[in-house]
């Protein structure tokens, strides 16, 4: 993953507004909130690729690059990096649009692993 990028990599998967209720004691957006938004975006990307239910099994990497501020629009971009027999790895970049304008900065990047499961809750093979 490249934290020096000037343009987002991947497909825009979700956008959400950072609200005051999501702040830490320092007044920035709590990192756990950002992580949860990334998990939501990654699960959308995984679900679309496997055409079915997935569950998060691992966060392989997570790097917080810059703080997210109240009023930022958090945009998460996803790229499917690997598809195995039952698992799928999704790389994500989170970019903040400052003051809801075009000025954007990369704030977080991560790599999450999901497993495809059937209706019975058991691992399900992913079609190639």
pLDDT tens for each residue of 100-119: 677 899 999 999 999 999 99
Of the candidates 94, 93, 95, 98, the residue with the CA atom closest to the CA atom of residue 71: 98
**1-58 pLDDT, tens digit each:** 545 568 999 999 999 999 999 999 999 999 999 999 999 999 999 999 999 999 999 9
Closest by CA position to 110, among listed 47, 6, 28, 39: 39
**pTM value?**
0.91
- What is the model's pLDDT at position 95? 97
């Amino acid at each position: 993953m490249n934290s020096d990028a000037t343009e987002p990599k991947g497909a825009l998967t979700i956008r959400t507004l950072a609200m005051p209720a999501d702040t830490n004691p320092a007044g920035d957006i709590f990192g756990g909130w950002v992580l949860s938004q990334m998990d939501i975006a990654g699960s959308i990307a995984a679900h679309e690729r496997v055409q079915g239910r997935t569950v998060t099994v691992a966060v392989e990497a997570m790097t917080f690059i810059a703080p997210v501020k109240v009023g930022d629009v958090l945009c998460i971009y996803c790229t499917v990096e690997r598809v195995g027999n039952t698992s799928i790895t999704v790389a994500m970049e989170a970019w903040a649009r400052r003051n809801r304008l075009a000025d954007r900065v990369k704030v977080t990047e991560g790599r999450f692993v999901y497993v495809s499961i059937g209706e019975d809750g058991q691992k399900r093979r992913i079609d190639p």
